[in-house]
Structure formats: structure tokens, C-alpha cells
């Protein structure tokens, strides 16, 4: 019985992380999932959120923006649309994005381009708001 998990986080553009870790917490679509060595096989959809993992006694974090996770044996594979480490996140930019998204969502301005209806506009800015909040939380792990 192994006491480590191999954590792999990849996007369509790059490999973000390959590391042996003690545990992983994933932002599942219906809530957080805690993964320890010898976890049962699992395939799940990920929501925008924080992947946190314990490595050499230190908790680390990666911002993930939608994707899938597979747990098989002692391997956790994350296939994400977008993933960012704390070092890659520009905190000031994330704060500005949050402010802009909130202004647009709470302004009540219903003017939208022809190709964009009000519901899709709201969904876009809700997603932008969520991403900015996740990025800010992960940036604090630096």
C-alpha cells in the first residue's frame, strides 16, 4: 500500500504539475472531493475552484476553471480547460476583473450587442466573477 498519490494537472496547452503528494482536494461540480492514497476509482466533472494538495507537509493550490478528474490506483489526473498556479496569477488584475464583473452584473444595464442576449451576458459575467475570486484565493498561497 502506497502512502503517496501521483497528481497530474494538464490543460490543452501545457502540463501544469506532475508531483507525488499526500492528498488532494478537488472542486467537484457538486462539492469538494477529498482524495487519499488507495481511493476508489472515480471520474468526475470539475467546477471552477481550487485544487489543493499536501506535498511534503505544505499545502499548495492551483486555480482550475472547469474540467475533469480521474482517480485510478494512486494516480489523480486533472484535465482542465484552464489551470494556474499561485505564482502565475496577477492579483491586481484578478481584483480588477472582480470589480468590473460586479459592476456589470449589478448595474442593471440591459444594453447588449445584438448577438448576445441578457441571460448569456449574465452567465458570462458570473463566470468571470467566479474565476477572479478563485484566482485571488489561490494567489494568497504564494
Give the residue-averaged pLDDT of 52-62: 94
Q: Same structural domain for residues 111 and 61?
A: no
Q: Same structural domain for residues 81 and 132?
A: no
Q: Same structural domain for residues 19 and 81?
A: yes
Q: Same structural domain for residues 107 and 78?
A: no
Last residue of a domain, one of 45, 64, 85: 85
Q: Same structural domain for residues 36 and 72?
A: yes
Which tens digit of pLDDT belongs to each residue from 22-43? Answer: 999 999 999 999 999 999 999 9
Decide which of 57 and 71 is more confident: 71
pTM for the structure as a whole: 0.84
Q: Same structural domain for residues 29 and 75?
A: yes
- Residue 40 buriedness (CB in 10 A; 0-12 / 13-18 / 19+): exposed
Q: Same structural domain for residues 110 and 134?
A: yes
Amino acid at each position: 500500500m502506497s502512502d503517496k498519490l501521483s497528481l497530474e494537472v494538464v490543460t490543452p496547452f501545457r502540463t501544469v504539475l506532475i508531483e507525488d503528494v499526500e492528498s488532494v482536494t478537488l472542486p467537484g461540480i457538486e462539492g469538494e472531493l477529498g482524495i487519499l492514497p488507495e481511493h476508489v476509482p472515480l471520474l468526475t466533472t470539475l467546477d471552477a475552484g481550487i485544487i489543493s494538495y499536501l506535498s511534503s507537509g505544505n499545502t499548495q493550490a492551483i486555480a482550475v476553471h472547469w474540467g475533469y478528474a480521474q482517480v485510478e490506483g494512486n494516480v489523480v489526473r486533472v484535465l482542465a480547460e484552464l489551470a494556474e498556479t499561485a505564482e502565475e496569477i496577477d492579483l491586481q488584475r484578478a481584483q480588477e476583473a472582480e470589480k468590473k464583473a460586479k459592476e456589470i452584473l449589478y448595474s442593471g444595464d440591459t444594453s447588449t450587442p445584438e448577438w448576445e442576449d441578457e441571460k448569456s451576458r449574465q452567465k458570462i459575467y458570473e463566470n468571470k466573477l467566479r474565476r477572479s475570486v478563485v484566482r485571488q484565493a489561490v494567489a494568497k498561497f504564494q
